[in-house]
Structure formats: structure tokens, C-alpha cells
Structure 1
Amino acid sequence: MQLSNEEEDYNLSLSKFESMLKTNKVLFFDSEEFEEIILHYLDMGKAALAKKALKLALEQHPKSTGLKLVQVEMLVYDDKLELAEKLLNELYAIEPTNEEIYIQKANICSKRDQHEKAVELLRIALKYTDDYADVYNLIGMEYLFMDNLEMAKESFIKCLEEDLEDQSALYNVVYCFEFLDQNQEAITYLNKYIDKNPYSEIAWHQLGRLHYGVKEYENAIRAFDYATLIDDEFLGAFMEKAKAYERLKKYDEAIESYSRTIELDDATSYALLRMGKCYERLGNKALALKYFNQTVHEDPLLDKGWIAITDFYVRQKNYQKALFYVNKALAIDNQNRLYWKRFATINKQMNFFEEAEFGYRKAVEFGDYGLDTWLFWVDILQFLGEFESAIQTLLQASEYFPEENEIEYRLAGLYFMLTDNTKAKFHLSNALRLNFDNYILLEDLFPVVWAKKMVQNYIAKHKK
């Protein structure tokens, strides 16, 4: 690929400047060359070289407004806002119609969280600038800082009217629409944008995302197809397309798209996991397992990978294998509530009740406060005859679920087992009030209690 004359001149200026630094010879550069050299170093994060270039530039061109504005930019970068402001005021006295002065003043206001003042200054800059797109983009960013998404959206749209190719503005417009819950409006806007700029793979990709978000999966796939036709290495579009195919239960097509992402880049654990899930849904257990194993090999810390293998074996009722994998997962992360819940469930299936009780206890300890987890744990404690522990656990659960009939029926049953009839009747009364028809729970979980005449009479009295 041939370089343009501008690029050649720029590269020449840069190498000339760097050879000057090595030889300590002072060479002459015009002010614009210096500006490009300084901004290059700033973009590269090489602040020391940028400062060195600026010092030499100002020695050679002490009156250059452009260089002084670059100096302001560097002072702002270093948070020397007062110095920057002083220099800007001097420049304003000389060139009151230079839009860059207003842009830098706005930048200082933005740094001080004076975003409304920054917008005022940027609106003045609009009067003097030729680059409307850039200024509208900056105004949009200020509105984002103020959480005024409607005005931000309007500014980014104006930016795109001036420069259709501004990708950051395009992303920001979509972000504003989504944040404002205006997905259909965003779709309408992107369709109009695509009419003007049909070869924008970013626009097609964003359109696909929005269709996916409102569950229009066929339209999403069509949009992702266009994105990948324009750029056949657009990894994100292939990934999103695969997800849409999954939603439509078109698993072969989903696998094809996930495979393409792996061809384009190193295999991601997410793509491997999803391929495993697709193969499992197609009934190809061998390939499903192969991809689940590759997932945990690729990323041993990804809990979804270990859970996929464990759940795969649970569905096959191969509890030995399921337990083997959940134990491997726990060896890597023994504070993962999802692992402990599965550890408990598998042990329960294998009639290892003490291990199951330990698993549910750990799941709750690490943040699983789901009602089913509390109830499974309590039912095992009851089965083990640990009535007091079961009651304490239910009382703890009732703090999360204060009006849950299943907790109240269990508390009633346990208190009856301990012959604490006052507390038992209190909780039975609560349970019957919350869901009368569920008294069958007592018969299922506490047949001894259910058989008591006193309990039958109490329920009958409540019915009346």
C-alpha cells in the first residue's frame, strides 16, 4: 500500500525530530510540523517526549497560537488548570474568533464539573468552527456527564449529520436510545442512517443488537449478516448472530457462527461453552462433552463451564461423574454458591444426606438465599432428626421471606414434633392464613403430626 504525500511528510518529520534528539543538533521545523509531532507523542502516551518537543517548538516559534494551544492541552492534561486558563485568556485577547480557545476553555470547565458552562462555550465554538461534527460530539459528551441523555442523543445525531463516518458518535447515539428505553426509535433511526451509509458494518451490527434486544431474532440475523458481508472478520457480529440462531433453536447455524469466531481469534470459553450447549440440544452428547471440557480447560475460573459439565452428567443421572466434576470445581473455587448448591443436590440424589446438608449450608453461607435452597436444607435437617437446627434455619429464612407459607407450615410441624404446641399453633395459624390449601404439606412432611387429632381439629376450625 502506497503512503500519501502527507503521511510521508509526517513520517519524515518524526524521524528527523528523533534523529535530532539523538545527535543534539538543533534542526528547524515549521510550527505545524511541531504540532503534529507533539500530538503524536501525546497520543502514544509519551508525555516526556511531547514536553521536550513543545519546549523546542516554542523556542523556534514563540508567537505561534497553534503551539500555545497545544501547550494549553498539555497543561490541562497535567491538571494545571489555572496556568492553562491564564494562557487561554492571553490567546483570547489576540484571537477571539479561534474556536480552539473555546474548546479548551470548555475542556477546563468540564474538568471542574462545570458541564453547563462547558456546553455554553462549545456553542460559541460552533459559530467559528469548520469542524461542526467534532464540536457536536464534545457537546454530546458534556450532556452525558450531566446525565441528560435526551440532549446528548440530539447532539450526537447532529454530529452524525455532519460526519456520517464518526463511529464513536454512532455508538453514543445507540447508547442514549437504549438508556432511554427507546429501542424501536433506535431501530427507526438506524434504518434511516443505513439508507445514507449502507456500508457501515457498525450500524448493521448495532441494528442487529437492537432487534435481538426486542426479540426480533430473524431481523437481528439479517442485520448481522450484512455486518459480516461488509467485514468478514467482524467477530462481534458472528458471535451475536450465533446467539440469535440459538434463540430460534437453529443450533447447526449457531454452531457454524460460533466456529467462525474461533477461526477469527483464539477460542473463547464463551464460544466453546455455547457450542457444547448447542451440540447437547442436537443430541450429540459426545461433542457436547468435548466442548464443555475444552471450556474449563480454556478458562478454569469460568463457573458456567464447570456447571455445564456437572449438569450434563446430572441429566444423564450419572451422579458419580457429576460429583467428580463439582468437586474439581470446588477445588478451584470453594466459595462459589452455585457449586455448593450442586454439590448438595447431587449428594442428596445419592442419599448422602450429611454431605448434602453441608452443601446447602455452604451455599447459603456464600450468598444463595433462594427459597428452594433454604427449604431443601431444612428438609434434610429434619430427615437427619436435627429439629432445633431446622427451626433456627427456618427462622433465618423467614427474615428473607416473612410471608412464605411453606416456611410457616414447616415451623408448625417442627414445633409440634418438639411438643411446643403454643409456637406450633402460632405458625400453623400463619400458614393457614397465607395459603390454606397448602396444609397438605403437613401430611407430606410430618405424617406423625398430621395424624394428631388436635392438628386436624385446628385446621377444621380454621376452615370454618
Structure 2
Amino acid sequence: MQLSDEEEDYNLSLSKFESMLKTNKVLFFDSEEFEEIILHYLDMGKANLAKKALKLALEQHPKSTGLKLVQVEMLVYEDKLDVAEKLLNELYAIEPTNEEIYIQKANIYSKRDNHEKAVELLQEALKYTDDFADVYNLIGMEYLFMDSLELAKENFTKCLEEDFDDQSALYNVVYCYEFLDQNEEAIAFLEKYIDKNPYSEIAWHQIGRLSYGLKKYEEAIRAFDYATLIDEDFMGAFMEKAKAYERLKRYEDAIESYQRTIELEDATSYALLRIGKCFEKLGNKVEALKYFNQTVHEDPLLDKGWIAITDFYVRQKNFDKALYYVNKALAIDNENRLYWKRFATINKSLNLFEEAEFGYRKAVENGDYQLDTWLFWVDILQYLGEFETAAFTLLQACEYFPEQFEIEYRLAGIYFMLNEEEKATFHLSNGLRLNSNNITVLEELFPVVWARKNVQNFIKKHKK
């Protein structure tokens, strides 16, 4: 790729400066060269080199306003706001119409969280600047800090009117629309933008993304197609297009798009997993399993990969294989509640009830507080005859689900089994109050209790 004259001059200045540092010879640079060198080092995070360049620059050009403004930028970078402000006031006395002075002052007020004053100064800068786009963009950012999304959107839009190629402003406009829950309006805005700038792959991609969010999958795919026609290496658009194809159950097309992302960049575990899911939907179990295995090979810490393989074998009712893979997953991460719940469910299917009870307990200990997890755990405890532990566990579950008939009926059944009649009738009364139609929970789980005459009499008396 051939460099422009400006890029060549810039690279020469940088090389010349670095050569000077190595030889300790003092060479002359004009003030603009120094500005570019200093800003380059600041952008690279090389503050020490930026300071060296600034010191030499001010020695060679002590009256340069441009260099003093760069000095202000460096002072702000070092959080020396009071010193920076003092220098800006001195510069303002000399050049009151220099827009950069207002911009830097605004930057200082922004750093102090006085965004209203920053906006006021930036609006003053608009009177003197030739770069309206940059100032509107800065005003938009200040309004974002203040959560004034409508005003932020208005200023980012003005920025785009001045500079159609400002991609950050385009993203920010869309962000404002989305935050304000104006997705339809965002699409309309982008369509107008595309009328003037039809080859903006970013705009097409954003239309696709917004359409996907609105479940308009066909429109999303059309937009992503345009984005990838303009930029054949636009990986994000291929990925989003694949997801839209999946939603439409066009699994072959989804696979093709996911595979395109792998061609463009190293295989990601997400793409491999989704390809596996698509092949499974198509009934191609061999390819599905191949991609699931590639997923966990690519990223052994991705729980969705191990879960995909485990669930694959569960659906095949191959519980021994499923248990093998969930154990491999637990060997990598034994604090993953999703793994423990599957470990429990698989062992339950294999009639290994003590292992199943252990799995449900570990799932809860690691943060799985879903109702079904508590209930499965308690039902296993009841099956094992551990009624007191089952009652204690259900009382814990009550803290998360205080008004849940399935818990109340189980507590009633367990307390009847423990011959604690007062507690049993209390919870049976609660269950009937919450949902009398589902009294069958007691009948199914505690047939011995259900058959008791006193229980039947209580139900008849209290059932609504």
C-alpha cells in the first residue's frame, strides 16, 4: 500500500525525532511536527517520550499557541487540572477566538463533572471553529454524561450532517435511539442516512441489528446482505446474519454464514457451538457432535459447549455418555451450578439416587435457586427416606418462594410422615388456600398420607 505524502512526512518526523534521542543531537522541528510527535506518544500511552518532546518543542518554539495547547492536553492527561486551567486563561488573553481554548476548557469542566458548563463552552467554540463535526460530537458526549439522550442524539445527528463518514457519531446516534426505545425511528433515520450514503456497511449492519431486535428477521438478513456485499470481510454482519437465519429455521444458510466467520477469523467457540446446534436441528447427529467437541476443544471454559454435548447425549437417552461428559466439565469447573444440575438429573435417570441428591445439593450451594431444583432435590430426599432433611430443605426454599403450593403440599406430606400433625395440617391448609386444584401433588408424592381418613376429612372441610 502506497503512503500519502502527509503520512510519509509524519513517519520521517517520528524517525528523525527517535534518532535524535539515541544520538543526543539536537535537531530542529517546526511546531506542527512537534505537535504530531507529542500527540502520537500520548495516544500510544508513552507519557515520558511525550514530555521529552514537549520540553524540546517549547525550547525551540516558546511562543507557539499550538504547542501550549498540547501542553494543556498533557496536563489534563496527568490530571493537573488547575495548572492546565491557569495556562488556558493566559492563552485566552492572547487568542480569545481560538476554538481549541474553549474545547480544552470544556474538557477540564467535564473532568470535574460540570457537564453543563462544558456544553456552554463547547457551544462558544462553535462560533470560532471550522470543524463543526468534532465540536458537535463533543457536545453529544457531554449530554450522554448527563443522560440527556434526546439532546445527545440531536448533536450526534448534527455531527453526521457535517461529516457523513464519522462512524463513532453514527454508532452514538443509534445508541441514543436504542436507549430511548425508539428502534423503529432509528431504522427510519438510518434509511435516510443510506439514501445519501448507500455504501455505508456500518449503517446497513445497524439496520440489520435493529430489525433483528424487532424480530423482523427477513429484513435483518436483507440489511446484513448489503453490509457483507459492501465489505466482504465484515465478520460481525455474517455472524448476525447467521443468527437471523437460525431464527427462521434456515439452518443450512445459518451454517454457511457461521462458517464464513470462521474463514475470516480464527474459529470462535460461539460459532462452532451454533454450527453444532444447527446440524442437530437438521438431524445430522454426527456433524453436530463433531462441532460440539470442537467447541470444548477451542474453549474448555465455555459451559455452553459442555452443556451442548451433555444435553445431546441426554436427548439420545445415552445417560452413561452424558454422565461421562458432565464429569469432564465438573473436573474443569466444579462450582458451575448448570453442570451440577445436569449431573443430578442424569444420575436420577440412572437410578443413582444418592448421587442425584448430592448433585442437586451442590447445584443449590452454587447458586441455583430455581424452584424445580429445590423440588427435585426434596423429592430425592423423600425417596431416600430422609424426611427431616427434606423438611429443612423445603423451609429454606420457602425463603425464595414464600407462597408456593408445591412446597406447601410437600411440607404437609413430610410432616404427616414424621407424625407432626400440627405442622402438617398448617401446611396442608396453606396449600389448599394457594391452589386447591393441585391437591394431586399430595396424592402423587405421598399416597400413604393421601389414604389417611383424617387427611381426607381435612381436605373436604377446607377445600374451596
With the shorter chain as reference, the TM-score category is over 0.9
- Deviation, structure 1 residue 423: 0.9
- In 2: Cα distance, 1:69 partner to 1:279 partner: 60
Aligned to 1:260: 260
- In 2: Cα distance, 1:303 partner to 1:36 partner: 47
- In 1: Cα distance, 2:374 partner to 2:23 partner: 75
* Residues 332-358 of structure 1: CA deviation (Å, up to 9, x unaligned): 000000000000000000000000000
- In 2: Cα distance, 1:353 partner to 1:22 partner: 74
Equivalence map 1:167-182=2 (5 Å): 167-182=167-182
- Aligned residue identity for 1:10: Y
- DSSP-derived class of the 2:345 partner: helix
Structure 2, unmatched stretches of 5+, are none
Aligned to 2:359: 359
- In 1: Cα distance, 2:356 partner to 2:3 partner: 69
- In 1: Cα distance, 2:313 partner to 2:54 partner: 66
- The answer to whether 1:49 aligns with 2:49 is yes
- DSSP-derived class of the 1:435 partner: helix
- Aligned residue identity for 2:45: G
Aligned to 2:20: 20
- In 2: Cα distance, 1:424 partner to 1:26 partner: 93
* Residues 12-61 of structure 1: CA deviation (Å, up to 9, x unaligned): 22222222222222222111111111111212222111111111111111
- DSSP-derived class of the 2:105 partner: helix
- Deviation, structure 1 residue 360: 0.3
- In 1: Cα distance, 2:381 partner to 2:4 partner: 78
- In 1: Cα distance, 2:389 partner to 2:11 partner: 76
- In 2: Cα distance, 1:387 partner to 1:284 partner: 46
Aligned to 1:39: 39
Aligned to 1:390: 390
- The answer to whether 1:334 aligns with 2:329 is no
- In 2: Cα distance, 1:270 partner to 1:308 partner: 12
- Deviation, structure 1 residue 213: 0.4
- In 2: Cα distance, 1:131 partner to 1:262 partner: 41
- In 1: Cα distance, 2:86 partner to 2:353 partner: 76
Aligned to 1:289: 289
* Residues 263-301 of structure 1: CA deviation (Å, up to 9, x unaligned): 011100000000000000000000000000000000000
- Aligned residue identity for 2:268: T
- Aligned residue identity for 1:197: N
Equivalence map 1:35-434=2 (5 Å): 35-434=35-434
- The answer to whether 1:454 aligns with 2:454 is yes
- DSSP-derived class of the 1:382 partner: helix
- In 2: Cα distance, 1:417 partner to 1:27 partner: 95
Aligned residues: 464
- In 1: Cα distance, 2:260 partner to 2:463 partner: 64
- Aligned residue identity for 2:327: N
- DSSP-derived class of the 1:207 partner: helix
- In 1: Cα distance, 2:407 partner to 2:20 partner: 81
- In 2: Cα distance, 1:463 partner to 1:337 partner: 38
- Deviation, structure 1 residue 150: 1.6
- In 2: Cα distance, 1:425 partner to 1:288 partner: 52
Following TM superposition, the consecutive aligned residue runs of length 4 or more in structure 1 with deviations greater than 6 angstroms are none
Structure 1, unmatched stretches of 5+, are none
Two-structure CA RMSD over aligned residues (Å):
0.9
- DSSP-derived class of the 1:380 partner: helix
- DSSP-derived class of the 1:171 partner: helix
* Residue range with higher mean Cα deviation, 365-374 or 24-33: 24-33
- Deviation, structure 1 residue 167: 0.6
- In 1: Cα distance, 2:463 partner to 2:74 partner: 80
- In 1: Cα distance, 2:38 partner to 2:319 partner: 65
* Residue range with higher mean Cα deviation, 8-17 or 67-76: 8-17
